[in-house]
Amino acid sequence: MISRTALDYREDSSPLFEAIRDLGSPVWLDSGRPLSPYGRFDIITAAPDFLVRFNRGNLQLTRNGTSETLPGSPFDALRQLLAKHPAPEPQDDLPFCGGLIGHLGYDLGRALEQLPALAGDDIAFPEMRMGFYSWAIIVDHHQARAELIAHPSCEAQQLQAVLQRLQRLQRPAKATTTPEFKLRAGFNNDLPPEQYNQALARIDDYIKDGDCYQVNFTQRFSSTFEGDPWRAYQMLRQAAPTPYSAYLESDDGAVLSLSPEQFLSTDQRQVTTKPIKGTRPRGDNKETDAQLKQALRESQKDRAENLMIVDLMRNDLSKVCALGSVKVPRLFAVESYANVHHLVTTVTGTLAQEQQPLDLLEHCFPGGSITGAPKIRAMEIIDELEPQRRNIYCGSIGYISLCGRMDTSITIRTLLCEQDRIFCWAGGGIVADSITEQEYEETYNKVNNLLKTLEATC
């Protein structure tokens, strides 16, 4: 039985995260409330019972301060470790009842497929880091409710210590001593314009030759910083509130994700994915904004680009879903965020009886919306033309609950802090009728508000 302890509800969950942050490996799966209209649940936790870390072919399990090397693939290891924990009865109003939370980097795809190794590998951050968390703070913004939940495996002493921390929030807050965040210089584009133009010309050749019909091409921005990445995340979530935001912190670094895109979710074996393809900037006034939104809705190019990825995702889901269950209930919907409008399609299915959420994640990873189509050929072209590996970018963040639920994001609009370096990426789908100058401008439209927010600290 899952234990549930009521907490005082608050619209902004930041103080809850700060209360448990120093317990180690803290995670906040952030719905973007109160500024984002789309999200519902916040999931906050720390101090995992164990960690599974995959880095350049080395798969390790760390528990109680000791590490051991694991055999097999990362997904096999996660399946075996989850199977050792009893699954409690699902709680209809809880998304998470204990289980795995963490990140899967884009380059985890190298453990699933034979890919070239041409792009530079200059960030040491691991391709996968998943922790098993037996307790969590769940904030339901639709019901204005907050709870501390715990799986039966959670030790009573640990749960009581967490509860005491949360009860201290009722006392007057002490002045923070955490160092502020500051960029040492503005962000540098790691891909010169002439190299970007050459890469898009090469993609156009590949499309004309029939190698592929869409490639998601990315640029990387970098700088150095001093201070606390948590302070940077607090600034960014004000500038870009999104329903699949997340902040993850560990000895490896900090991930600051402001993603609007769901990758895969399961609920009672019902599967949903919501690929994004098609973007317009927000307008300076209501009239211009409405015109940009309508132009996106009516764009034949963006619809075609979106449909290519929808077909890819339908194919990926069909590998693990019951025959005939994959549907497209919502095609070409427009969703609006702080700086852009997006074209979003919803694809659904039902997991086949022999399949589990981790099987779904393995067969669909990485997401088609950030590779191109066909997927493997597009990934080969990406590795050829992008100067550096993507690392956390275009991977996934999320949870796999023992109750059978799973929810994951695509890590777009995501920054990585490693030592004193900070990285941000942006890209877009390149198709036969893409115009290089417009694609380049779209890249900046997607992340300008993130870059400028942090550059204001210089």
- Across 405-416, average pLDDT: 97
pLDDT grade for 132, boundaries at 50, 70 and 90: very high
- d(CA 356, CA 87) in angstroms, rounded, equals 13
By percentage, how much of the chain surpasses pLDDT 70?
98
- Across 56-61, average pLDDT: 97
pLDDT at 35: 82
State the virtual CA torsion across 222, 225, 229, 233 in degrees, nearest 10. -60
Cα Rg for the chain, rounded, in angstroms?
21
pLDDT at 178: 64
- d(CA 24, CA 35) in angstroms, rounded, equals 28
pLDDT at 154: 94
- Across 78-85, average pLDDT: 94
Please, what is the average pLDDT of the chain? 94
First-to-last alpha carbon distance for the chain, in angstroms, is 50
User: What distance lies between CA 318 and its chain's CA centroid?
Assistant: 23
- Across 376-398, average pLDDT: 98
Whether residue 170 is predicted with pLDDT greater than 80 in this model: the reply is: no
State the virtual CA torsion across 165, 167, 171, 176 in degrees, nearest 10. 30
Strand partners, 427: 218
**% helix, strand, coil for the chain, step of 5:** 30, 35, 35
The boundaries of the domain holding residue 333 are: 3-455
3-state secondary structure of 365: coil
CATH number at residue 394: 3.60.120.10
pLDDT at 88: 86
- Of 274, 277, 375, 446, the active-site residue reads 277
Q: Is the dihedral of CA 407, 408, 414, 420 positive or negative?
A: positive
- Of 249, 261, 305, 442, the active-site residue reads 261
- C-alpha distance from residue 208 to each of 197, 370, 374, 433 (Å): 17, 21, 14, 11
- d(CA 256, CA 103) in angstroms, rounded, equals 12
Residue 149, C-beta contacts closer than 8 angstroms, at least 6 positions apart: 2, 3, 4, 5, 94, 96, 97, 98, 135, 136, 137, 138
Whether residue 4 contacts residue 140, with contact meaning beta carbons closer than 8 Å, is answered with no
- d(CA 382, CA 29) in angstroms, rounded, equals 29
Q: Write the DSSP string, 64-133.
A: TTEEEEPPS-HHHHHHHHHHTS--PPP-TT-S-SSEEEEEE-GGGGGGTS-----SB------SEEEEEE
Name the amino acid, one letter, at 286. Answer: K
pLDDT at 173: 53
| 168: alpha, beta or left? (left if phi > 0; alpha if psi -120 to 50) | alpha
pLDDT grade for 38, boundaries at 50, 70 and 90: confident
pLDDT at 89: 82
Q: What are the tens digits of pLDDT across the range 202-243?
A: 999 999 999 999 999 999 999 999 999 999 999 999 999 999
pLDDT grade for 28, boundaries at 50, 70 and 90: very high
SS (H, E, C) 192-221: CHHHHHHHHHHHHHHHHCCCCCEEEEEEEE
Q: What are the tens digits of pLDDT across the range 418-457?
A: 999 999 999 999 999 999 999 999 899 899 999 999 999 9
Q: What are the tens digits of pLDDT across the range 320-365?
A: 999 999 999 999 999 998 888 999 999 999 999 999 999 999 999 9
Structural domains of the chain, count: 1
261 given a catalytic annotation: yes
- C-alpha distance from residue 328 to each of 271, 298, 314, 324 (Å): 12, 19, 8, 12
Question: 329: which 2 tokens?
Answer: 């209930």
Q: For Cα atoms 370, 372, 374, give the angle at the middle one, nearest 5 degrees.
A: 140
- For the question of whether the overall pTM of this predicted structure is more than 0.75, the answer is yes
Whether residue 146 is predicted with pLDDT greater than 80 in this model: the reply is: yes
Whether residue 297 contacts residue 279, with contact meaning beta carbons closer than 8 Å, is answered with no
